[in-house]
Structure 1
Amino acid sequence: MREKLTEEKVFKDPVHHYIYVQDQTIWDLINTKEFQRLRRIRQLGTTYLTFHGAEHSRFSHSLGVYEITRRIISQFERNGYPDWPREERLVSLCAALLHDVGHGPFSHSLEEIFDTDHEVWTCNILLGDTDINAVLRQVSEDFPAKVAAVIQKTYPKPIVISLISSQMDADRMDYLLRDAYFTGVNYGTFDLERILRVLRPYQGKIVVKESGMHAVEHYLMSRYQMYWQIYFHPVTRSSEIILRQIFRRAQELYREGYTFGWMASPLEKLLNNTLSLHDYLKLDESLAQTAFSEWAEESDELLADLCGRFLNRRLYKYVTIDNPDETWLSEVADALLSAGLHPDYHMEIDYPFDLPYDVYRPDQKNGEKREKAPILLLDNEDRISEISVKSDIVRSITGLRQGQYHLYFPEESLQEKKAILSDRMIQLFRLNETKPTPM
């Protein structure tokens, strides 16, 4: 077993003020090249194009998740709760720190195009020929597999998994506070101190003392507001659409044998689906942005235009629509074709049901698998109940879907071809709307 540090290390942090590192293993993991790579991966992907302060990294978020987990465990141990297995402290802290180490550039957008999963890459990093694996093996030969099992949600003690992955875990608590701070909004703020005080280990689960229900209601309301005001923001969706179109077009061109003027080896292997772990670890947002800058000069006009749009924030406009059907979509596609545009790249119907975020859902429906443990309340008579049973507020927001369909398109290109569009299409795309005079 690795030893404690002779002198505690401290990180200054804008959200938690201080992050404390007391274990040699944690300190060594932070200093691995795989963990340091997270400095070059933004926490919120393309959201910085909507909220300019959202430049924070997966590195700072991962430290924050570690710190919240450390504080929860310290509270359990300080109060001597018998249901907390003390021998699970280090595996819990390591899983908290490393839970996002497998994220690639622009995270979920990249995963959607290339059908990858950051949790799979995380486990590959934990178990593969990496500095992180070497550090974990210094604890014990089976320790990397234990940490990976927590990430995979197969660890034999669910209470450890719940710390990192549940409806009220350290991951969610940190990213809500951190994302609110860096986007400059108040939606994501809640009383973290109060929540940490009312958490309890009980019968192999993490529960909330019933007197803390109102603090949890505040947390869930903050989460609900953050999803709809930040994570589901339609302008951010526009930038994500263009990002996905860039990689789609690049992959299409690659498969057709197109000769790129510039191509880095990891990107080529990404496009032909032959990424090794070594190649994957070279992928970061610096490399992606360099590619976009070079591809903006490519002879393929579509790829060049998409890259220029992303780099210079010339995003697609969106209009709200109601339940589009196939006939309607065909009519819109024909209008774009008549204007000399490419419907596969210049039109997208978006509805925010496919995002990696979700509002609180206490149970599974129609046989679906529950991914996250629900929030459980513990009353004075040691009875457990799911929070929406006791809370009118939580029950009112449970599973709500208030999303709208949006049609995204390049407005300026259609304005140039406005004369050949039907009145119906001009009205649909709102091409007659007056623009405010630039200040």
Structure 2
Amino acid sequence: MFTTLHEEKVFKDPVHRYIHVRDGLIWELIGTKEFQRLRRIRQLGTTSFTFHGAEHSRFNHSLGVYEITRRMTEIFSGKADWNEDDRLLALAVALLHDIGHGPFSHSFEKVFHTDHEEWTRRIILGDTEVNRILRKMDRCFPQAVADIIEKTSTNKLVSSMISSQIDADRMDYLLRDAYYTGVSYGQFDLERILRVMRPKNDEVVIKASGMHAVEDYIMSRYQMYWQVYFHPVTRSSEVILSKILMRVKDLQERGYDFKQKPLHFLSLFAGEITLEDYLRLDESIVHYYFQSWQEEDDPILKDLCNRFLNRRLFQYIEFHPNERMKDWPKLEALFAKAGVDPSYYLVMDSSSDLPYDVYRPGEEERLPIHLLMPDGSLKELSTHSDVVEAISGKKRTDHKLYYPADVLTDTRVDQEIRDSIQSLLTTI
């Protein structure tokens, strides 16, 4: 069992000013090698190609989520629906919720079919420093933490503090990502939202007087997704990153003789990756391989690594697959004639977001934000907010076609082929 630290520990933080650690449990978790690994995993993957300040890590963000959750527990303390025994559980979940992320997170997951939440669970329950520290609380404590992250816990209140439509995770990453990218879109009044949060009926609710602060938060999230997270230049770098990993996987399966063998990836390719293997993967390792693979004999791998490391990104145009798919085979054939493999250099990419939604029986559970009315009743947010009602349930999707613009200026490619590609891209 852990006690309060003899002296409070603080982290200076650009978003929250200070992050306060008073519990021995949290302090020891921060010191584990699994948590320290998050220093080597960037929060926003390749977004620094677009917003050069976006170099912050999952370590930064995880501390921020912990700090917001810590403040929530202070606000909830003494309230009728809050169980003080859940305080350390909430803090541990907040701190560890992203511990399973791999290098370049979502691009990595797409290629290798991994799930960071599953790896988070394995780290919490496996033979790790994190697990050994959690077990000091209680032998069942690691499972309680894992269940909340897996969204299978019966503790709905703590779950909603970490994962809901207005939770500590989203509030920190919006403010933090806005700060490091240098944009104003993600700003909202965190202080006001925290002041009007209340525990009620196994969920976090908002006092009706704080509705406008929540409107501002939802619109900030909407803007951040379309102005930052789904920025087409960032998506171009993600496309190239994914294609590098796909090329390496394909070459390995074909028995290609690498000059720099992908030793850290072999168990991934074989579908036999262990927890120890996974924890050795971070972005410094991936960058090392990309640097080395610039010297490979395979022209595609060599070129893609060079493009990624030196920011020679793909060009993009608007492309709606449902309307223009008849042109796709023609475009693939022209790229092949130009000596450019369309499976690596002609890529459709789609992004979509649902900024706010209400619960619909039979669909994926998406609990709405509830307002706590003066009479004690709960009302769903969009029934009182015209702003939220206007975007509620509306999914926006954006499609782009990515390709290397230099294929159109490469004098080694027949002029007629280049003209045909340009003409087709113009009419798509």
Give the structure-1-normalised TM-score: 0.94
| Conserved? CA contact 2:356–2:393, under 8 Å | yes
Which residue does the alignment assign to 1:216?
A: 214
Counterpart in the other structure of 1:194 = 192
Give the aligned residue type for 1:399. Answer: G
Match of residue 394, structure 2, among 400, 412, 432:
400
1:231 aligned to which of 213, 229, 232:
229
Taking every aligned residue pair, what percent have the same amino acid on both sides? 53
Match of 1:352 in 2: 351
Q: Deviations over 1:85-107 (max 9, x none)?
A: 11110011000000000000000
The CA deviation string for residues 207-261 of structure 1, in whole angstroms up to 9 with x for no partner, is 1000100000000000000000001111111000000000101000000111211
Residue of structure 2 aligned with 1:91, choices 89, 92, 95: 89
CA distance in 1, matches of 2:6, 2:188: 35
Residue 309 of structure 1 aligns to a residue in which SS?
helix
With over 3 angstroms needed to count, the CA separation of the structure-2 counterparts of 1:101 and 1:358, relative to structure 1, is farther
Alignment check: 8 A CA contact 2:357 2:393 kept:
yes
Corresponding residue for residue 328 of structure 1: 327
Q: Secondary structure at the match of 1:382?
A: coil
Instruction: Identify the match of residue 358 of structure 2 among 356, 362, 368.
Output: 362
Offset of residue 425 of structure 1: 3.0
- Write the letter of the residue equivalent to 2:41: I
Aligned to 1:373: 367
- Separation (CA, whole Å) in 1 of partners of 2:395 and 2:124: 36
Retained in 1: the 8 A contact 2:408–2:418? no
Q: Which runs of 5+ in 2 are unaligned?
A: none
Deviation, 1:153, is 1.0
What residue number does 1:436 align with? none
Shift of 1:271: 2.5
In 2, the alpha carbon distance for the partners of 1:118 and 1:329 equals: 33
Residue 278 of structure 2 corresponds to residue 283 of structure 1? no
Amino acid at match of 2:66: Y
Aligned residues: 424
Deviation at 1:295, TM superposition (A): 0.8
1:274-318 deviations in Å (ceiling 9; x for gaps): 210001000000000000000111111001111111000000000
Alignment of 1:196-275 (within 5 A): 196-275=194-273
Unpaired segments ≥5 residues, structure 1? 432-439
Aligned to 1:314: 312
- Work out whether residues 354 and 396 of structure 2, in 8 Å CA contact, stay in contact via their aligned partners in 1: no
| TM-score where L is the length of structure 2 | 0.96
Question: 1:429/1:294 Cα in 2 relative to 1: closer, same or farther (>3 Å)?
Answer: same
Residue 362 of structure 1 aligns with an amino acid whose one-letter code is: V
- Pick which of 162-171 and 408-417 moved more: 408-417
2:10 aligned with 1:15: no
Contact conserved, 2:68 with 2:172, CA < 8 A, in 1? Answer: yes
Contact 2:354 2:395 in 1 (8 A): no
With over 3 angstroms needed to count, the CA separation of the structure-2 counterparts of 1:47 and 1:255, relative to structure 1, is same
Q: In structure 1, how many angstroms separate the alpha carbons of the residues matched to 2:239 and 2:34?
A: 28
**Contact 1:362–1:374 (CA<8 Å) still a contact in 2?**
yes
| Contact 2:258-2:296 within 8 A present in 1 as well | yes
Tell me the residue number matched to 2:421: 425
Instruction: Give the letter aligned to residue 35 of structure 2.
Output: F
Distance in 1 (alpha carbons) for counterparts of 2:418 and 2:138? 70
Contact 1:127 1:148 in 2 (8 A): yes
Partner in structure 1 of residue 147 of structure 2? 149
Q: What's the CA shift for 1:418?
A: 6.2
Q: Which amino acid aligns with 1:35?
A: F
Q: Distance in 1 between matches of 2:119 and 2:242?
A: 20
